[in-house]
Amino acid sequence: MADRLSFDVLVIGSGASGLAAAVSAERAGARVAVATKGSLQSCNSAKAQGGIQASFGEDDSPELHAEDVWKSSHETADMRLVEVLTGDAQSAIHWLEELGVRFTRENGGYRIAKCGGASRKRLLQVGDRTGHAITTGLREAWEGGAGTTLAKSPLSDLQRTENGWTARVGDHEVDAAAVVLAAGGRCYREAEERRELSTNHPGATGEVTQIALGLGAEARDLDALQYHPNGGAWPANMQGYSIPETTRAYGAVLLNGEHEEFTDSLGPRDAVSQAIFDEVEKGNGVETPDGRPAVLLDTTLIPEADAEVSLPYMLRRYRAAGIDPLSEPILTYPVLHYQNGGLVIDTEGETTLEGLFACGEIAGGTHGRNRMMGNSLLECCVFGRRAGKAAAERSFS
């Protein structure tokens, strides 16, 4: 028989958005529980390597950042959400630093890079394991509080009640005044069904979105799935690895089988991915030793000093497999990566159902139909904080 528990706020998911929501809700005075499908550490966010965007450059601003998001989305993003994303970015970075995240610095400021689709340098990094650093900081803040973790307790049912919601998570029945859905997207399942590679954690299967849709929550752009343009294609143990896009920010370029550049290597993700697909379709790609399609990413152009500071994890992984990216180009091909669309939310993360909030990859609108790199971790922190605080306030009303 299931045990019955009661909290002010129940958060579903323990990636960056869920942890940000949980920490924010608890610090607002709510009694909070986090329910996870697997362990508290299991999430896609920890795998994010490239970085997080925020307009700290002297020639930059939240408005320019918002304009880049709008253009990269092909003018499909919800500008109300975009303005919150870019306007709260600096505050989110400082909040993460208060939680112990140490972003790479140089010359008295942040080390910032220019990423695909951006008009300015604004990508902050923690080496090339930014997601790992952010989720570690958030998780330590959560575990240092008084909240409850319900590990290995996937959401299987959610129902409205007179005073909020009742959720079935694993073997628990949980009553909560407000619920925050932060369970991520579905690209792992989609990749399996398409027989393709994915960068995603095996927990990214999308059933929480379906539960919300079944309750009547509105969604948008659910068909818009994103390919990471630089998936590892060889060696075999790197297949599905998301090669940091900062490789291109620091000088790497994409080459076809004739060692010719065929696209703007710093273009938006969808444009770069499509250019690779098209080049291979024309017969201008290369083939991996196990017969997979690929093109070349010429990482030999990256200055060694930049690589050692901003790409140490990538270098270690490839060198352990017998390939030195600073001495020879590496093989790459797009891999399924991110669910751009999701549940419709307002600027506080509330869905179209009262008392049900969503943040992170499960929510839609902030990126429109195409996301810029570096904005997913930012979205998790900005809207996770907002959703957690708003959920706490809802529980007190």
Active site residues: 269
Amino acid letter at 111?
Answer: R
Nearest to 271 by CA among 71, 124, 62: 71
- Block residue for tokens 């008295």: 108
Nearest to 81 by CA among 390, 391, 382: 382
Rounded to an integer, what distance in angstroms lies between the CA atom of residue 270 and that of residue 160?
38
For the chain, what is the HEC assignment?
CCEEEEEEEEEECCCHHHHHHHHHHHHCCCCEEEECCCCCCCCCHHHCCCCEECCCCCCCCHHHHHHHHHHHCCCCCCHHHHHHHHHCHHHHHHHHHHCCCCCCEECCEECEECCCCCCCCCEECCCCCHHHHHHHHHHHHHHCCCCEEECCCCEEEEEEECCEEEEEECCEEEEEEEEEECCCCCHHHHHHHHCCCECCCCCCCCHHHHHHHHCCCCEECCCCEEEEEEEECCCHHHCCCECCCHHHHCCCEEECCCCCECCCCCCCHHHHHHHHHHHHHCCCCEECCCCCEEEEEEHHHCCHHHHHHHCHHHHHHHHHCCCCCCCCCEEEEEEEEEECCEEECCCCCECCCCCEEECHHHEECCCCCCCCCCHHHHHHHHHHHHHHHHHHHHHHC
Rounded to an integer, what distance in angstroms lies between the CA atom of residue 346 and that of residue 354?
11
Q: Do β-strands 225-232 and 330-339 pair in parallel, antiparallel, or remain unpaired?
A: antiparallel
CB neighbour list of residue 285: distance below 8 Å, 6 or more residues apart? 256, 257, 276, 279, 293, 294, 295
